[in-house]
């Protein structure tokens, strides 16, 4: 089974959801986005350097803020080849850029770069065309791939976290078959990319200094797996059957997983998940696009349930006003403690509930499309080491979604 995801216009492809009061800690500039143009701008800048101003309007520092520039913005200035786009900050330092082809038409239509911001800080960036980017291995901080040799896993990571989800071959694996659309955790305590090395050595349940797979997601939702809520229960898909990589570093990994139709209270529903993770972030963005198979004229209202696996000794906290649910819990094998979190748009929150295996947050869909963020931290990674620090990170992440760094285009001096 295959169906095309009804994707929004490019400017809304990732995070430009300002109209509903939510945007990530990065900002898209393009058609439909408010762009401030100073007098004489188009004549003075056509075919030249584009000067951007970015402002953090929040009262706390924000690291690894991802800024997106669309082809719709850049091409009027003669910047046609996004694989050759370069960015410099006010000090003249060149910043790493990544061009992304979102619609797989062979042409990049998005460029991303990152910067840190202090409280209330404003920055300027110069955008221009130069040599085509040729990356070095040590520049990559985000990566993901389909792992056929391990029963069709799809694994992804950045410099802070790593995850995997399960493909169809695992359902019939002779050793440990598993049917699950859970999100698994790989606990890493190194900034280097580890997916390929861990799969190659095939001994990733032991910690040799970089971390290990301590987490057992099983048939739970794990760290942010979802399903559809109906008749007072969660209906979930089986393992994914197809995958598609959209972006693969060095800054962002983005991919789609396709699921065969599954039963939701007598209605067959297919799903495509799109997952995005940027360098320096603890949380991945999850988007689910559903296709219910209904009779002509029949309508169905879908409710998404997003889960975190229950464990003994956990500490829970929910803040629907800010849009997050988090927990702090002891890990298996005495590996320390970890924090898990779900972040969602406050306006789509319905209620918190649970089933036998999971704590569940129920959220309203935008038609057949749902969005949330999920991720974790590990105390032994040394970045977030206690419940208070985890709560602060999640709260600031949620505030960053509702108040993105404001980016405007200004006159080139």
| pLDDT digits 0-9 by tens, 150-176 | 999 999 999 999 999 999 999 999 999
d(CA 221, CA 236): 9
Residues of the chain with pLDDT > 90, as a percent, come to: 83
For 209-257, the pLDDT digits (tens) are: 999 999 999 999 999 999 999 999 999 999 999 999 999 999 999 999 9
pLDDT tens over the chain, length 413 residues = 455 554 433 333 333 322 223 333 434 443 223 334 433 443 344 457 899 999 999 999 999 999 999 999 888 888 889 999 999 999 999 999 999 999 999 999 999 999 999 999 999 999 999 999 999 999 999 999 999 999 999 999 999 999 999 999 999 999 999 999 999 999 999 999 999 999 999 999 999 999 999 999 999 999 999 999 999 999 999 999 999 999 999 999 999 999 999 999 999 999 999 999 999 999 999 999 999 999 888 888 999 999 999 999 999 999 999 999 999 999 999 999 999 999 999 999 999 999 999 999 999 999 999 999 999 999 999 999 999 999 999 999 999 999 999 998 885 44
User: Dihedral through CA 328, CA 332, CA 337, CA 339, nearest 10?
Assistant: -40
Residue 290 is encoded by which pair of tokens? Answer: 């559903």
Q: What is the pLDDT of residue 299?
A: 84
| Portions of the chain given CATH number 2.60.40.1180 | 10-133+406-410
Q: Is 22 exposed, middle or buried (0-12, 13-18, 19+ CB in 10 A)?
A: buried
Q: What is the pLDDT of residue 411?
A: 55
Q: What is the pLDDT of residue 255?
A: 99
Q: What is the pTM of this model?
A: 0.90
Residue 87 is encoded by which pair of tokens? Answer: 């960015």
Three-class DSSP labels, the chain: CCCCCCCCCHHHCCCCCHHHCCCCCEEEECCCCCCCCCCCHHHHHCCCCEEEEEECCCCCCEEEEEEEEEHHHHHHHCCCCHHHEEEEECCCCEECEEEECCCCCCCCCEEEEEEEECCCCEEEEEEEECCCCCCCHHHCCEEEEEEHHHCCEEEEEECCCEEEECEHHHHHCCCCCCCCCCEEEEEECCCCCCHHHHHHHCCCCCCCCCEECCCCCCCCCEEEEEEEEECCEEECCCCECEEEEEEECCCEEEEEEEEEEEEECCEEEEEEEEEEEECCCCEEEEEEEEEEECCCCCCCCCEEEEEEECCCCCEEEEECCCCEEEEEEECHHHCCEEEEEEECCHHHEEEEEECCCEEEEEEECECCEEEEEEEEEEHHHCCCCCHHHHHHHHHHHHHHHHCCCEEEEECCC
Q: What is the pLDDT of residue 48?
A: 76
| Portions of the chain given CATH number 2.70.98 | 144-381
For 89-127, the pLDDT digits (tens) are: 999 999 999 999 999 999 999 999 999 999 999 999 999
Cis peptide preceding 146, ω within 30 of 0: no
Q: What is the pLDDT of residue 13?
A: 32
Residue 69 is encoded by which pair of tokens? Answer: 């520039």
d(CA 290, CA 271): 5
For domain 10-133+406-410, the CATH architecture is Sandwich (2.60)
d(CA 18, CA 29): 12
Fold classified for 144-381: Beta-galactosidase; Chain A, domain 5 (2.70.98)
Quickly count: other Cβ atoms within 10 Å of residue 104's Cβ.
9
């Amino acid at each position: 089974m295959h169906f095309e995801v009804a994707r929004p216009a490019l400017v809304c492809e990732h995070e430009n959801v300002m109209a509903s009061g939510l945007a990530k800690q990065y900002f898209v500039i393009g058609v439909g986005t408010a762009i401030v143009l100073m007098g004489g701008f188009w004549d003075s800048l056509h075919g030249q350097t584009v000067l951007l101003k970015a402002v953090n309007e929040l009262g706390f520092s924000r690291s690894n803020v991802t800024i997106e520039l669309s082809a719709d913005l850049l091409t009027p200035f003669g910047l046609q080849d996004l694989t050759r786009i370069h960015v410099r900050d006010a000090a003249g330092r060149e910043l790493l850029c990544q061009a992304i082809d979102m619609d797989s038409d062979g042409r990049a239509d998005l460029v991303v770069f990152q910067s840190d911001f202090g409280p209330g800080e404003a920055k300027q960036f110069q955008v221009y065309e130069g040599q085509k980017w040729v990356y070095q291995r040590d520049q990559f901080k985000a990566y993901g791939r389909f792992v056929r040799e391990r029963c069709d896993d799809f694994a992804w990571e950045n410099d802070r976290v790593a995850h995997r989800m399960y493909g169809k071959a695992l359902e019939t694996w002779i050793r440990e078959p598993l049917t699950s659309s859970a999100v698994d955790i790989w606990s890493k305590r190194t900034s280097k990319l580890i997916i390929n090395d861990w799969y190659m050595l095939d001994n990733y349940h032991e910690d040799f200094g970089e971390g290990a797979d301590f987490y057992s997601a099983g048939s739970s939702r794990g760290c942010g797996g979802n399903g559809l809520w109906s008749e007072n229960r969660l209906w979930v898909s089986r393992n994914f059957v197809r995958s598609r990589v959209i972006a693969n570093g060095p800054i962002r990994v983005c991919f789609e997983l396709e699921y065969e139709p599954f039963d939701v209270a007598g209605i067959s529903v297919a799903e495509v998940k799109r997952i995005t993770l940027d360098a320096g972030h603890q949380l991945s963005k999850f988007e689910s696009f559903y296709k219910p198979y209904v009779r002509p004229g029949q309508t169905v209202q879908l409710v998404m349930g997003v889960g975190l696996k229950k464990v003994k000794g956990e500490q829970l906290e929910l803040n629907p006003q800010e849009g997050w649910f988090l927990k702090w819990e002891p890990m298996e094998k005495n590996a320390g403690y970890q924090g898990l979190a779900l972040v969602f748009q406050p306006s789509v929150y319905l209620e918190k509930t649970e089933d036998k295996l999971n704590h569940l947050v129920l959220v309203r869909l935008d038609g057949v499309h749902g969005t949330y963020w999920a991720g974790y931290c590990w105390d032994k990674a040394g970045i977030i080491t206690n419940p208070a620090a985890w709560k602060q990170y999640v709260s600031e992440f949620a505030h960053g979604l509702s108040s993105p760094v404001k980016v405007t285009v200004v006159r080139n001096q």
